[in-house]
């Protein structure tokens, strides 16, 4: 999944969540943005988190305010990621095994903090971590 496609999926989902309308299945806003599977939706969300991490740490130079905004974004993303994986799934055999192996947003943020967002290997390492291809 390209960075631009992930941004599109996440931007659509963010608008849906911000609308104030009830969201019964966290996957729905991501599918509306173009995600085909729950795994793809989670991967898009994690790419979006990494993108925001890079923005706050490179473009905004890691100022305390920027880091605080990133921490809030990541914190709000945790329940959404969990919801994508679990909401309205009635048949556990329908859930791909890969979904059960997804890490938490919290562990992903710890991973991001171990990287230098300015290095050329930032995105390859992010994509490898979440099991997605660029």
The model's pLDDT over 48-66, given as tens digits with 9 standing for 90+, comes to: 999 999 999 999 998 999 9
Give 24's pLDDT tier (boundaries 50, 70, 90). Answer: very high
Q: What confidence tens digit (pLDDT) does each residue in 75-90 have?
A: 999 999 999 988 876 6
Q: Which residues contact 89 (CB under 8 A, 6 or more apart)?
A: 95
Domain, as residue range, for 95? 3-130
State the pTM of this model. 0.91
Task: Give the Cα separation of 105 and 6 in Å (integer).
Answer: 16
Number of domains in the chain: 1
Token digits of residue 55: 């923005």
The residue with tokens 């095994």 is 97
């Amino acid at each position: 999944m390209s960075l631009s496609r992930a941004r599109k999926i996440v931007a659509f989902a963010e608008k849906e969540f911000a609308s104030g309308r009830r969201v019964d299945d966290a996957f729905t806003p991501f599918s509306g943005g173009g995600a085909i599977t729950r795994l793809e939706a989670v991967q898009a969300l994690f790419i979006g988190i990494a993108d925001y991490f890079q923005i706050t740490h490179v473009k905004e130079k890691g100022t305390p305010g920027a880091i605080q905004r990133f921490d809030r974004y990541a914190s709000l993303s945790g329940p959404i990621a969990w919801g994508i994986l679990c909401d309205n799934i009635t048949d556990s055999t329908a859930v791909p095994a890969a979904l059960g192996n997804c890490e938490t947003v919290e562990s992903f943020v710890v991973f991001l903090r171990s990287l230098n967002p300015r290095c050329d290997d930032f995105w390859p390492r992010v994509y490898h971590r979440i099991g997605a291809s660029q």
